Amino acid sequence: MNEINILFLAPHWRVTLMRAFQDSWSKRQLPGRLLGADSDAQAGALQVLTESFTLPEFSDASCLDQLMELCQREAVSLIFPLTNKAVDFLNANRQPLKTYTAYLPPAETVDLCHDKFKLAERFREIPLSVPQTFLPDDLSDDCPFPLIVKPRQGEGSRDVHRVDNLDDLVYFRKKFPNHVFQKWIEGTEFSIDWFSDRDSTPRLLSPRERLAVRGGEVMKSRIHLHPKIIKAARELGKALSLTGPATIQGILDKEDRFWLTDVNLRFGSGYVHSILAGADIPALIHSELAEDAPPADQCSVRDGSVMVRYPGHLIL
């Protein structure tokens, strides 16, 4: 069986995700190494991987050369970016890094998913249910309150606020001129763990109800294989030609209608739930890249399973 070496780019604090990959490869005795590269030498995830390396920040002109040298020296088979900035970096350097980006979706998809206004416009064209989305200058005084205001580009929940009335609107429109405003949807938040192979064939669609969230990070989730949510995710994946991992976010309202809001083109921090609940994505990746290996088991998850996350620590 071929040796597969995966480099996780900017893994930061995603220790549980890295350990899930390690456990899968160890259980199946898969040949290869799991590597990490980050601009922070003390990043938690770097401490638990087979080998770790420090790179300059993506804005540094030497970052690309150092990353390519690292990939060649360590015989890297594939790079998985674990932040939006890492996705943008691989996308901007798609040509020189093409050997290592088998699961990077098309450039148009990256551009759409990293711009919440463009993504909302694309959702309407497909068509899929998406909350009304406005640029600050397009909002009238009689817009449909409440709204939610969030960065047009970015990740996490920083600078995300609810807008309840005209006074709020005046304040936030001035404070965040580059944000987008969306109609507030009352309902249950879901993250959908997605994985498709190199031919964009979906291998995993796992909706997780976000039961408890802290600082934008899910602390408790429950897998709910809701047919409407799965159908919406499948249609989105086909329209955007999603490849590899993604975390799709949306809201299921009281009328059982699912509203799509965001698409992150990477493993989300809560993705580990689906892996631990039965979806052996690490083995599937190894199987597809090794080519001479037997196919991994079909990815399925335990419906109704609950994951509870908690803070941990490492002493360096």
Per-residue pLDDT band at 295 (split at 50, 70, 90): low
Task: Collapse the DSSP code of 130 into the 3-class scheme (helix H, G, I; strand E, B; otherwise coil) and give the result.
Answer: coil
Q: Which pLDDT value is given to residue 297?
A: 57
Task: Please report the domains of the chain, with CATH numbers, ordered by start residue.
Answer: 6-103 (3.40.50.20), 110-114+186-308 (3.30.470.20), 132-183 (3.30.1490)
Cβ-contact 193, 279 below 8 angstroms:
yes
Q: How far is C-alpha 153 from the chain's CA centre?
A: 14
Q: What mean pLDDT is predicted for residues 131-149?
A: 90
pTM of the full structure: 0.95
Two tokens, residue 272:
């580990």
DSSP string, the chain: -----EEEES-TT-HHHHHHHHHHHHHHT--S-EEEEES-TT-GGGGTSSEEEE---TTSTTHHHHHHHHHHHTT--EEEE-SHHHHHHHHHTTTTTGGG-TTPPPHHHHHHHT-HHHHHHHHHHTT-----EE-GGG--TT--SSEEEEESS--SSTT-EEE-SHHHHHHHHHH-TTEEEEE---EEEEEEEEEE-TT--EEEEEEEEEEEEETTEEEEEEE---HHHHHHHHHHHHHHT--EEEEEEEEEETTS-EEEEEEESS--GGGHHHHHTT--HHHHHHHHHHSSSPPPPPP---TT-EEE--------
Average pLDDT, the chain: 93
Does 189 score more than 70 pLDDT?
yes
pLDDT at 293: 62
On the question of pLDDT at 223 being above 60, the answer is: yes
Q: What is the pLDDT of residues 33-54, one digit of tens each?
A: 999 999 999 999 999 998 999 9
Tell whether the model's pLDDT for residue 18 goes beyond 90.
yes
Q: Model confidence over 163-178: pLDDT tens digits? A: 999 999 999 999 999 9
User: How many Cβ atoms sit within 10 Å of the Cβ of residue 129?
Assistant: 17
The rounded distance, in Å, linking the Cα atoms of 83 and 9 is 8
Residue 298: which pLDDT band, with cuts at 50, 70 and 90? low
What is the rounded average pLDDT of the residues 280-305? 84
Instruction: Write the pLDDT tens digit of every residue in 232-266.
Output: 999 999 999 999 999 999 999 999 999 999 999 99
Residue pLDDT, tens place only, 109-127: 999 999 999 999 999 888 8
What does the block give as tokens for 267? 């493993």
Average pLDDT over residues 83-89: 97
CA angle 168, 170, 173 (to 5 degrees): 100
Distance, CA of 83 to CA of 127 (rounded, Å): 28
pLDDT at 206: 97
